[in-house]
Amino acid sequence: MERLVDGLLWYFAFLFSTTLHEASHAFAAYRLGDRTAYEGGQLTLDPLPHMRREPVGMVVIPIVSFLLGGWMIGWASVPYNPRWAYDNPHHSAKMSAAGPAANLLLVLVSAVIIRLGMLAGIFYPLESIDHAQVIGAAHGGLFFGLAMFLNVFLSLNLLLFLFNLLPLPPLDGSGILPWFMSREQAQNYLTFIQNPSFSLVGLLIAWKLFDFIYDPLHLLFINLLFYPAAHYG
């Protein structure tokens, strides 16, 4: 029963975080002139259209990864018009940035709730932390469940934010790079990275790099979150 509850907490956090991430891409594209995702029904916080579009990434892989490793990973996507992206590379870059920005917002909201809970004596820093356990609850019941959820929600959104910022295709960080280029440079870059093999290579490199990147950044964020109440080395 405990593992089932833990799995449900992870899946709810994953569904909400991933859906908001993709809906933010769709909203930014819509506001900047591309109606593709909007007309495809992806500009929504209802997870079902996103699950129907990516059933493997939104359902199968998250459940399998939790059963095998005790945490969840997966993916989703929204459609966009490649011609619009080519003609408007800076708008396209803003669309790419909208997804990680949504995850960063959820990280900050989680952090504020945790800090307020610590001030109220509801939460406290754990003596030892890991990627999904940073706070405990001073009381049982609802507060214990809230602490469990915040542990997962904070860590998952920090992971999604940092991983998607890696400047490697097909990750959002790669799509953000044109923001810092001239229009002509950005168009040449977008044409260059359309090679499908780059996405496979990019994911493999990102997966290897992330082990070295995430741990120190996660530790830095947690130390900032708990300062001056606790410090972890």
What is the pLDDT at residue 196? 87
Exposed/middle/buried for residue 104 (C-beta within 10 Å: 0-12, 13-18, 19+): middle
- 12's enclosing H/E stretch is helix 2-31
The conformation of residue 56, written as its DSSP 8-state character, comes to I
Distance CA 111, CA 228 (A): 15
- Residue 233 is predicted with a pLDDT of 87
Tens digit of each residue's pLDDT (9 = 90 or more) over 48-89:
999 999 999 999 999 999 999 888 999 999 999 999 999 999
- Amino acid identity, residue 48? L
Structure tokens at 21: 């991430």
Q: Which residues of 42-52 are buried (b: 16+ CB within 10 A; e: fewer)?
A: bbbeebebbbe
> 131 falls in which pLDDT band (50, 70, 90)?
confident
Question: What confidence score (pLDDT) does residue 3 get?
Answer: 87
Q: How far apart are CA 157 and CA 162, in angstroms?
A: 8
Residue 1 has pLDDT above 90, yes or no: no
- Say if residue 211's pLDDT is above 90: no
What tens digit of pLDDT does each residue of 107-121 get? 999 999 999 999 999
For residue 186, pLDDT over 80 is answered with yes
DSSP assignments along 176-228, one per residue: HGGGGS-HHHHHHHHHHTT-HHHHHHHHHHHHHHHHHHHHHHHHHHHHHHHTT
The model's pLDDT over 8-37, given as tens digits with 9 standing for 90+, comes to: 999 999 999 999 999 999 999 999 999 999
Q: Report the percentage of the chain scoring pLDDT > 90.
A: 91
Q: By percentage, how much of the chain surpasses pLDDT 70?
A: 100
If 0-12 CB within 10 Å is exposed, 13-18 middle and 19+ buried, where does residue 35 land?
middle
CA 29/CA 79 separation, integer angstroms: 10
Cα separation, 54 vs 34, in Å, equals 21
Can you name the residues that pair with 125 across neighbouring β-strands?
135
